[in-house]
Amino acid sequence: MKILITGGAGFIGSNIAGYFLNAGENYEVKVVDNLTTGRVENITPFLDDSRFEFIQDTVTNKATMETLIQWCDHCYHLAAPVGVKFIMDNPVLSVLDNIRGIDTVLEFVNKYKKRVLIASTSETYGKSLDLLDASHTRKLKESDYRVEGSTKNHRWAYANTKSLDEFLSFAYYKEFGTEVVIARFFNTVGPRQLSQYGMVIPNFVKGALEGKEIRVFGTGEQLRSFMHVNDAVRAVTQLMLTGKGVGEEFNIGNPFEISMNDLAQKIIEKTGSTAQIVHIPYEVAYGPGFEDMDRRTADITKLCDTLGYTIAYDLDDILSDIISYHRTTQA
């Protein structure tokens, strides 16, 4: 089977590449990535494997993408501008690359009748839980309303371009029967994830290991959930390989939630760090008017029922993995 991964030099994409190359001789993998936030180091272990090829290019290059999609059986479309800091610093690119990328990928997977996984995000729900669930008890279901902020606040652009990715994917599915699978990733974490684009756990772990400070944005009472990348890869590959995900959207996340203050404290304890927790207002971190949601936690009943899926890694496993990675590298 031939697997194409856009954004495959990134964190999740390189883990999908590794999953298939380790799964046996039956898989060939090609990765296309322009290395904006991805790194060659993520795919270095695969470069000597004759079943692997890296193409350094943008997913918006139609000629490259037509050739690659024609070649593959399944495409995993993960290429996108990623990370709150990167998005805020690159407002035009972050809208255009997402829209032009999905347009290109869907055009050719439809033309050549290939199956595609589209990487969406829990950000598409926006402030849904904060504004529609006053009791703060339930978790986000796939069918929930999306509650996004003002278009003047660029923070919401990422969520909205990803929602547009989903709309266009479902449009192709309805009109042409294109085999699309939508994966709404919640915070996906693990070894190899970089701290520099604003990802919370690598930043906290880095701060703890340096023993200086852990910078918590806002009050730190906001609740988030984290899924180990191995659990996420197992979920999306099974949705694709079994075909059970076709024409559907799935939350890919962990239903367990924790506040950022408790997360920082847990990381301090697990690393034995002397670092102090420092609260930084959102406006200072990301500029005036920045806003965030209080809760963003996945209900994964649909994923579990569809695949008979269970989560393998709890938060302690996740943190142990990431801490040991950061102790031995300069990520």
Ligand X SMILES: NC(=O)c1ccc[n+]([C@@H]2O[C@H](COP(=O)([O-])OP(=O)(O)OC[C@H]3O[C@@H](n4cnc5c(N)ncnc54)[C@H](O)[C@@H]3O)[C@@H](O)[C@H]2O)c1
Q: Which residues bind ligand X (CB under 6 A)?
A: 6-7, 9-13, 32-38, 58-60, 78-82, 97, 101, 119, 121, 185, 187-188
Residue nearer to ligand X on the CB measure, 99 or 212? 99
Contact 176, 110 (CB under 8 A): yes
At 197, list the tokens: 């684009």
In angstroms, rounded to a whole number, what is the distance separating the alpha carbons of residues 106 and 60? Answer: 11
In angstroms, rounded to a whole number, what is the distance separating the alpha carbons of residues 231 and 310? Answer: 9
Residue nearer to ligand X on the CB measure, 188 or 271? 188
Is position 158 annotated as part of the catalytic site? yes
Residue nearer to ligand X on the CB measure, 47 or 278? 47
Query: In b/e form, how buried is each residue of 267-305, taking b as 16+ CB within 10 angstroms?
Result: bbeebebebebeeeebeebbeeebbbbbbbbbbbebbee
- Token match 């699309």: residue? 180
Beta bridge partners of 74: 3, 115
Beta carbon of residue 188, minimum distance to ligand X (angstroms, whole number): 4
In angstroms, rounded to a whole number, what is the distance separating the alpha carbons of residues 103 and 142? Answer: 23
Beta carbon of residue 119, minimum distance to ligand X (angstroms, whole number): 4
**List 158, 173, 286, 309, catalytic entry:** 158
Beta carbon of residue 163, minimum distance to ligand X (angstroms, whole number): 12
Q: What does the chain come to in residues?
A: 331
Residue nearer to ligand X on the CB measure, 232 or 267? 232
Beta carbon of residue 297, minimum distance to ligand X (angstroms, whole number): 13
Cite the active site residues: 158
